[in-house]
């Protein structure tokens, strides 16, 4: 089996002529949508590399950056016992997804000689107990911190920067800067100014790459390289998927375009507004988390690009097979017809676990003997797929021949392309997040930021009705 085989999309269980006319998507609806899908494809390609579509060129334009990434990663591996990512959103979810997919599932617990790199921690929350617990398990003098924020004004990340640099100055003293690597904008924002004033090692987040589309630039590639992941092969996989999509506006042969058209039809015509990402592999568990941000933050919008009022978007839900067969499947098979289930299937796992013979007195246990966990997990996936089919529930399968750097690069780029196409079909800006900005304004206002816009927001918040006692229990 080649290390760079194509991932595959199977949408049979989405289609009315397979699943049942009352449940699935009519192929004629996709045919009718085909001209709009072609236009969506053309619009995405025309804007390639401009605006916030710089991520489309990442598989092809980073040769010089890769050399520096690999050199810095080698230095970090040689000098440090732990590597800590300070970031939130795409700055954290991408590195976590790739690390869990491509590193040993118990990477941090391996002895150093088996790990081959420093322990990795991604600190994507500001729970005070979490920071305290991190400091309990790392030695600051042997730890490197990667601070990731494009603006340098991300409150969560910069608060962590303040805490960590204060501790480094106290415990390491002169040369503390060698323990910090900044990943930020090339010219704008607070963090690049700190890079320049403190002499920090740094990497650039391209101006045309947003956070949730940033895993294939230094935001995600540095942590991967530090842990020994083949980042060039990841980009090769992404380039393969780009080649599949780039010159193909045919909705029936471009897999990302077909997926976007199907989900658009589900949202707009069928009131199917939930997509459950259900990987049948622990290695892909965090890919579901990464997808949730990509899909929700990109497509959840209340106005079109022309300013027309809409409330669109499909709610992503993360699950794990087989674990969540025992917690969520009942809802998916017998609850509302408002969901699409997306299976992530692995064809060949990186290990095989044999099940011994035994318990012969119990036939419903004994039959497992001589089989493997590999067979069992796929049998359970097929059983879940069939149960959904019997119940008339739309589902689809993305198959990874193996989980490796190439297929993960393909998978991430595939979902990014689907998102871009879906945004075009919905006529929304898939690359902004105004709803998130409102939350940031309110948070800064609560903390007493003195800038005028935050003062105005404080006044606005103070104008809310007082809580009603009868609702306070």
Q: How many residues does the chain have?
A: 473
Residue 453 annotated in active site: no
3-state DSSP assignment of residue 298: helix
Specify the DSSP element, H or E, that contains 8.
strand 8-10
- Strand partners for 183: 148, 203
Pairing of strands 309-312, 301-303: antiparallel
Out of 113, 129, 326, 450, which one is annotated catalytic? Answer: 326
And the tokens for 246? 């780039």
Out of 297, 385, 416, 424, which one is annotated catalytic? Answer: 297
Out of 236, 371, 373, 440, which one is annotated catalytic? Answer: 440
Distance CA 396, CA 114 (A): 37
Rounded (5°) CA angle 379-382-388: 140
**For residue 270, which phi and psi values (nearest 5 degrees)?**
-125, 0
Under a CB-based contact definition with an 8 Å cutoff, are residues 418 and 44 in contact? no
Distance CA 149, CA 219 (A): 9
Distance CA 327, CA 341 (A): 15
Residue 440 annotated in active site: yes
Q: What is the dihedral of CA 228, 229, 232, 233, to 10 degrees?
A: 140
Half-sphere exposure of 312 (CA within 13 A, CB side): 27
- Strand partners for 398: 9, 344
Under a CB-based contact definition with an 8 Å cutoff, are residues 351 and 405 in contact? no
Distance CA 250, CA 227 (A): 39
3-state DSSP assignment of residue 374: helix
User: Would you list the DSSP string of 412-463?
Assistant: HHHHHHHHHHHHHHHTS-TT--HHHHHHHHHHHHHTT--SHHHHHHHHHHHT
Distance CA 25, CA 82 (A): 49
Strand locations in 189-245 (E) = 201-204
3-state DSSP assignment of residue 23: coil
Distance CA 345, CA 281 (A): 7
Under a CB-based contact definition with an 8 Å cutoff, are residues 41 and 257 in contact? yes
And the tokens for 197? 């004033």
Looking at residue 341, the DSSP 8-state letter turns out to be E
Under a CB-based contact definition with an 8 Å cutoff, are residues 138 and 121 in contact? yes
Residue 5 annotated in active site: no
Pairing of strands 8-10, 395-400: antiparallel
Positions marked active-site: 297, 326, 440
């Amino acid at each position: 089996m080649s290390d760079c085989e194509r991932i595959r999309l199977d949408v049979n269980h989405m289609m009315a002529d397979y699943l049942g006319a009352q449940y699935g998507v009519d192929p004629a609806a996709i045919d009718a949508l085909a001209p709009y899908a072609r236009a969506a494809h053309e619009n995405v390609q025309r804007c390639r590399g401009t605006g916030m579509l710089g991520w489309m060129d990442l598989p092809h334009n980073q040769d010089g950056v890769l050399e520096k990434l690999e050199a810095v990663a080698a230095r970090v591996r040689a000098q440090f016992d732990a590597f800590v990512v300070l970031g939130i959103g795409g700055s954290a979810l991408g590195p976590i997804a790739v690390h869990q997919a491509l590193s040993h599932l118990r990477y941090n617990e391996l002895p150093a000689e088996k790990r081959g790199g420093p322990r990795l921690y991604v600190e994507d929350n500001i729970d005070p107990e979490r920071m305290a617990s991190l400091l309990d398990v790392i030695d600051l003098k042997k730890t490197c911190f990667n601070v990731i924020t494009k603006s340098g004004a991300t409150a969560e990340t910069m608060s962590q920067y303040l805490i960590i640099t204060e501790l480094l100055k106290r415990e390491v003293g002169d040369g503390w800067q060698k323990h910090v690597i900044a990943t930020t904008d090339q010219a704008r924002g607070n963090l690049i100014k700190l890079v320049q004033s403190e002499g920090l090692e740094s990497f650039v987040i391209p101006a045309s790459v947003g956070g949730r589309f940033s895993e294939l630039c230094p935001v995600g590639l540095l942590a991967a390289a530090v842990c020994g992941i083949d980042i060039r092969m990841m980009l090769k996989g992404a380039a393969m998927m780009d080649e599949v999509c780039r010159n193909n506006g045919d909705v029936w042969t471009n897999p990302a375009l077909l997926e976007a058209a199907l989900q658009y039809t589900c949202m707009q015509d069928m009131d199917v507004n939930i997509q459950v990402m259900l990987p049948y592999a622990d290695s892909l568990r965090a890919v579901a988390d990464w997808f949730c941000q990509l899909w929700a933050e990109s497509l959840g919008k209340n106005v079109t690009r022309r300013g027309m009022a809409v409330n669109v978007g499909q709610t992503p839900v993360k699950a794990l097979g087989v674990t969540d067969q025992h917690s969520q499947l009942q809802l998916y098979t017998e609850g509302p017809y408002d969901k699409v289930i997306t299976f992530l299937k692995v064809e060949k796992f990186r290990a095989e676990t044999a099940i011994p013979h035994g318990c012969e007195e119990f036939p419903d246990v004994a039959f497992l003997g001589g089989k493997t966990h590999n067979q069992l997990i796929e049998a359970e996936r097929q059983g879940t797929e069939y149960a959904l089919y019997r119940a008339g529930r739309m589902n689809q399968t993305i198959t990874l021949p193996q989980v490796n750097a190439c297929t993960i690069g393909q998978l991430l780029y595939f979902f990014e392309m689907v998102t871009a196409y879906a945004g075009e079909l919905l006529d929304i800006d898939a690359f902004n997040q105004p709803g998130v900005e409102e939350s940031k304004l309110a948070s800064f206002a609560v903390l007493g930021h003195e800038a005028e816009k935050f003062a105005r927001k404080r006044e606005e918040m103070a104008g809310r009705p007082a809580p009603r006692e009868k609702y306070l229990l």
